[in-house]
Amino acid sequence: MRTHARHEGAQKATVRRRPRRPIDYPRRGRRGVRRWLPSWRQWLGGSLLGFGAIAGLLGYVYVTVDIPDENAAAGREANVYFWADGTQMVSIGAVNRQNVPLDDIPESVRNAVIAAENASFYSDSGVDPQGLGRAVLNMVKGQETQGGSTITQQYVKNTYLSQDQTMTRKVREFVISLKVDQRKSKDEILQGYLNSSWFGRGANGVEAAAHAYYGIPARQLNASQSALLAALLKGAELYDPSANPANHRRAEARWAWILDRQVAVGRMSAAERARYKEFPEPLKESRSTSLSGDYGQTGYLVDVADKYVRQRTGLTAKDLAQGGYRIHTTFDKRRVHQLARAARGVLDRRLEPRERAEDKGVQVGAASVRTQDGAVLALYGGADATRHFSNNADTSGVPAGSAFKPFVLAAALQDGLRADRKGPGGMTPGEALVEGGNATYRELGEEVGHRRVRQVAVDAGMLGRSMARPDASFPLGTSTPSAVRLASAYGTFARGGLQHDPYSVTSVTKDGEAVGGLEPPRTRRALDPGVAGQVDAVLRDAAEDSLGRVASRSGQPVAAGRTTDQDRFRSAWFAGYTPEVSTAVTLFRTRPRDPLLQPLSGVGGGKSRYGNALTERIWRDALLGVDLAPGAGR
């Protein structure tokens, strides 16, 4: 018995000497499933260890991750061009964005976005820990890591990070958002968010979105429109109401919810909410980013504006390509549309390129210039700037023909010639201008001197580089002005001999700062008032001969010059003016891979008079379409 006791004591001593494990797992003294269930102490310790590891990792990331440079795309803006009345013409650039200060974004937009996206924006730390937790859980489930984000986090994602939905990107977003919230004011963050967010229809930022959906700048948005734009932040592909009926239902429901939500969070009164009962239907479509807009003329307008800016400011094409410029032009939308309608209407009615070989390759260019100061009001550069790249309104190479003769007459009168002096065939210079007397003007040019004629034409507004060689045919119009320059030079007769260089841009700004060098061109005295008056009288006779009753129907004096059947320069011109506007129209014919102009005989049928009847008709339709409209000329 003693032996058994000794043996039992030895076993107990052996058990007592067995070393203790740091973690009692699997748990001793438990059987079955209970052996594998952690104790509460183990649960607590494991949780604390996990949270500590996460906290340590976040601390390490917080120390090592700094706010990076902005994405290239985040800082890129479009160039925005405006009509003469201040409305937007087009936005051009790889990114359709126009950054605006928060002061130019109405309270209604800020309230709608904050209520819908992040009601605690002005009081939170810039991050949503629960959203990060959901992202971790989704990652574990193999789903997208996207979770709820604050406005600050969305701003960070738009401005500093990629759009990838990865855990690494979410953690970096969380840390950078904390730092951004400490270094930037809430207003700076909100401004950045509203300028960088995607609203659909090619619009980045609220300014571009306001133009794309409502055709107005952001500062003019009302609370109802603001609520719809805020709804688009949830996903423009699902909430653009113009896309399809399902989108419309979703958009209308979220629009109403955002208005109600603003009341709930104290950003709108119930009385104001009650005023917004009708859904603010946006525009069906927006052409604000299309160079083919406005009857295909937008590209030509932008081309002329850009050339003028480069000439006057020193900005290069590379500078403009970087974007961010707001360019205010002189172009009158109504006149641009009417000039395009007139040109297209005449060509569609009179040309049959499938039936007549002579009608193939016909080109038209036209320009209207304000006589008072030289502002370019309208252009017609061709059928469509996205397919026909040469701007017919602003190109040289098309001889002016008899449309040049008024400058020969002005040079002769300036040098003392009497307007009633008889020339070859018993004609006066005025009569020869009306009836196309080439012999009279050839002799007149010889008498005055070709260099003198050239100088008068340049003084009146033509470019020296467009002047032809001063040979025997020079007085008959071998020079090749653009439609813009011929319209401008004819305007000198309308203004009693005062000349204004044509201009197409009134101001350019970038980041709120004005670009210098865009003061309107100075007024110069080009011709004696008496000389300009005599030429004006002759041109009125020419207009009466060409346009007949149209001149009187316009309600104001009309003066015009044009090419005639005697011209053989393979071009047709009609240039004329009222006291307010001078317009020049040219027609010529080209052939692919042939640099020479083609003959105009047969163009438009037998009654076109080598295309002269077509240019007259375009000019007349443009005049009647605008200057006889209500309010024209005021």
Q: Could you read off the pLDDT of 222-276 as tens digits, one per residue?
A: 999 999 999 999 988 899 998 889 999 999 999 999 999 999 999 999 999 999 9
**What mean pLDDT do residues 69-91 have?**
83
Whether cis (ω within 30° of 0) applies to the bond prior to 26 is yes
C-alpha to C-alpha distances, 194 to 50, 119, 231, 624, nearest whole angstrom:
38, 15, 13, 45
Angstrom distance (rounded) from CA 493 to CA 497:
5
CATH hierarchy code of domain 343-626: 3.40.710.10
Domain borders along the chain are 98-265, 343-626
State the Cα–Cα distance between residues 520 and 471, nearest whole angstrom: 36
Q: Does domain 98-265 have CATH number 3.30.360.10?
A: no
Q: What value, to the nearest 5°, has the Cα angle with vertex 309 and ends 505 and 513?
A: 80
Confidence of residue 425 (pLDDT cuts 50, 70, 90): low
pLDDT digits over 464-488, tens only? 999 999 999 999 999 999 999 999 9
Least confident of 5-19, 151-165, 496-510, 516-530: 5-19
**Composition of the chain by helix, strand, coil, percent to 5:** 50, 10, 40
pLDDT at 345: 93
| pLDDT score at 72 | 60
CB proximity list for 456: less than 8 A, separation 6 or greater: 407, 410, 411, 414, 526, 527
Assess whether pLDDT exceeds 60 at residue 136: no
Neighbours of 110 (CB within 10 A): 20
376-380 sheet: strands from edge to edge: 376-380, 362-370, 581-589, 572-577, 559-562
Identical fold, 98-265 and 343-626 = no
Q: Lowest mean pLDDT: which of 426-440, 530-544, 600-614?
A: 426-440
pLDDT value for 633: 31
For residue 178, CA distances in Å to 117, 119, 172, 634 come to: 18, 18, 10, 58
Please write the tens of the pLDDT for every residue from 362-400.
999 999 999 999 999 999 999 888 777 789 999 888 999
Report the alpha-carbon distance of residue 256 to residue 189 in Å, rounded: 26
- Percent of the chain whose pLDDT exceeds 70: 79
pLDDT of residue 631: 34
pLDDT level of residue 451 (50, 70, 90 thresholds): very high
> Mind giving me the DSSP string for 158-176?
HHTS-S---HHHHHHHHHH
In this predicted model, which residue has the larger pLDDT, 17 or 606? Answer: 606
Which residues lie across from 534 on neighbouring strands?
Answer: none
Neighbours of 135 (CB within 10 A): 26
**Is it the case that residue 411 has pLDDT exceeding 90?**
yes
Rg (CA), the chain: 38
**CA–CA separation, 341 vs 347, rounded Å?**
10
> For all residues of the chain together, what is the average pLDDT?
84
Confidence band of 71 (pLDDT split at 50, 70, 90):
low
pTM (2 d.p.): 0.74
